[in-house]
Structure 1
Amino acid sequence: MSDATTRPVRLSLVDLVGLGLVGPRTRPLRAVLAALGIAIGIATMVVVVGIPASSQRALDHQLSALGTNLLRAQAVYDQRTQTLPPVPEDAAAMAARIGPVQRTSAVANTHAKVWRSDRIPAEQPSGLTVLAARADLLPAVGARLAAGHYLTAGTSALPVAVLGDKAATRLGITELRRGEPAPTIWLGDRWFTVIGVLAPVPLAPDLERSVLVGWSAARTWLGFDGHPTVVYVRAQESQLEAVREVLAATVFAENPGRIVVSRPSDALAAKRIAETTFSGLFLGLAGVALLVGGVGVANTMVISALERKREIGLRRALGATRGQVRVQFLTESVVLCLLGGLFGVTAGVLGAASYAASRDWPATVPPVAALGGVGSALVIGVLAGLYPAIRAARLTPTEALAAP
């Protein structure tokens, strides 16, 4: 007999897939339960990657809309005298003379107290900050109005006020209805009319908890001395660091060390990084789920090999080689894990997209997460099926057929 007649037949890819589906077809419930562990792990991994990616994209859009070129120069208390430095009143105008600077504005803490009504005891103020503000503040900090109007050159000298959104909530003035008398607040020792409410200001959260009054009005009724405490500066993005280096000396040349210059967008980015540190923990949990799922698949394949000894013996008796038996069981393990992986990727993408939609974020799932999920399932399938496949291939035809 020639070697050509005794050479084992090579199995095609279709044959291998067909053999790999024998177990799942004949024992569907066991296959589903085995693949479920893999699916849970992959879905967790995709969700953990997808949600931070969506959050990052939303933050990028937010910063792009607000602008990342805002600098904040703030006067700090002298720990010895417990006083603020006398920053010149024209500090914002001086900062505007820096070449790359595009826009400036300023606010100042008047140290006044505010109440919702004059009937509230004087020792129970609202705890809100009263700031003297320039009429050009909103475009400088990227703020917008939720209701009403902002201060203008004409109203800055009048006893009117604009509330930050948190201040409005605390004072119980969250909306201004047209055709109705404007609400009033007791500020200092007189009534101020509320003419506007700000929307949230991510780059200047201190404004959200403040009551804003005109610069001239603060001088007239609140005893304001005219020294700003915070100067906001918008500059060309490419020259931002250069402006940052000279801003303190420009704002308060007498003692630049009493001025702290910060970049609010950096704080938002740092907050985002702090939030994503939890992703490592969840990825670890996803890894544990994948490990448990892999062990479950391996256990299923070992039991399958034990239950199918007669099938293995019959195939060996009909000419199947050890290699073909190994490939059969290895393929079955890979098929189970791939099915779980595909289901897990689908569930993970839907989960991440649903969460992003609930937060009004743009849904973003990096392709590497989906491909990584399928790839992880493939690797786990190979590792989980390796030992059962080798064990099944070691059975001789006589041993397998003699099994009870």
Structure 2
Amino acid sequence: MFKQIICTGVLAAAVIANPANAQTFEETLELTYRSNPTLQAERAGVRAIEESVTQARSAWLPSVSAQASISSTRTEQSGGFFGNRTDSVTPQNYRIDASQAIWRGGEITGAINQAEANVLAAREGLRTTEQTVLLQAATAFLDVRRDGAIAQIRRNNVEVLLAQLDAAEDRFEVGEITRTDVSQAEARLASARAQLAAALSQLAASRARYDAVVGQYPATLTPEPPLPEMPQSVEDALEIALDYSPVLRAAAFNEDSAIANIRSARGAYSPDVSLNASASRTNDQNLSGDQTDRYSVTASVSVPLYTGGLNRSRVRQATFNADQARIRVIAARRQVEEVVTTAFNTLIASRSVIDSSQRSVEANEIALEGVQQEAFVGLRTTLDVLNAEQELLEARLTLVSAERDSYVAGLTLLQAMGLLTAETLEISGDPEPYLSEPTRANFDLTPWN
């Protein structure tokens, strides 16, 4: 059983180390950007919402319709002074109607402005979804690399403990150590084997998560590139977020939509003025062959006098919705400030963890070497060596996890500022030009590569 686990670990390590099928961080994000079903569904939703602008603008354009009809009537009459008689009539009617809105009191204009604001809000929602999915793909990439490195460290630890156990048994045979020392080495080896099995299981789960987000299982993953330049202070990060954050921008566009809806609702109080024209022709198609043509042009005015409070209620409702949208902008701003502040401080803390972990690894390497030398001359026990190896192992695992966490923290800060986009990451193959251009902040982004 353990041989199977070791073989699996060797295969996993071979996949990580083999450069023949190397897949880069950028390729992972590009594949996700083009094929992720969540993004594709969101883009389709934006396309659907964009059609509302065309529908709203159509109210200002003329409406033209045509009608045509033909019927056949056969009349048979028998007896009487003229004897039997049969009459057939096949009348034909043709009609064209046209209507043009002249004045709607701001109702149509308000509906157009509302539709345009809804489209802009939907595009910002797409930017939010894009950043979320890209962060998921990047995290999945980093998780596979981290868990692969952890599995490799665990496998190396098993090999070291196997050699340690062999050495302990040899020393026991010659009487240098006791049976207790051998048992301690056996216990550490058994624990290391269990930890290796857990690490391989976690690696398999991370690979499955990668497949769910990216659309294919990872092959060889190359090291991730350096992060773009980050803000030097939380104030700089907040300034960028207030310009770029799609959450805040979507809330602002929703407020614009609600305000436009008020104008549209108030337009129902105004008179409606329209111009109507029609032309018709009727052919009797009987014995006389009569043909009648009619033309008419009508200007109509409709003034609402009493609607049972309907129009007033709609205006109040639109006003309340606008108040709600305005308050949500304030809430969105607070949310963005909280997320950016948290992400910035998490990034700073993660960098400190990496620095401490690197020093810990270096110190534990020196300590292990010293303990091994002291144990060789009988100044240290087998347990001391095992403890030193365990401390070095934990330091290396902490460093691997800290490097992954720091990178994810940097990406999370970019997302919080609204910069984790295809443009910032220099992802090629933009499927649709949906994203509205955000206000440019005074911040120089270092190219991703």
**TM > 0.5:** no
TM score, norm. by length of structure 1: 0.25
**Larger RCO, structures 1/2 (Cα 8 Å, 6+ apart):** 1
Give the structure with the higher percent helix: 2
Which has the higher Rg, Structure 1 or Structure 2? 2
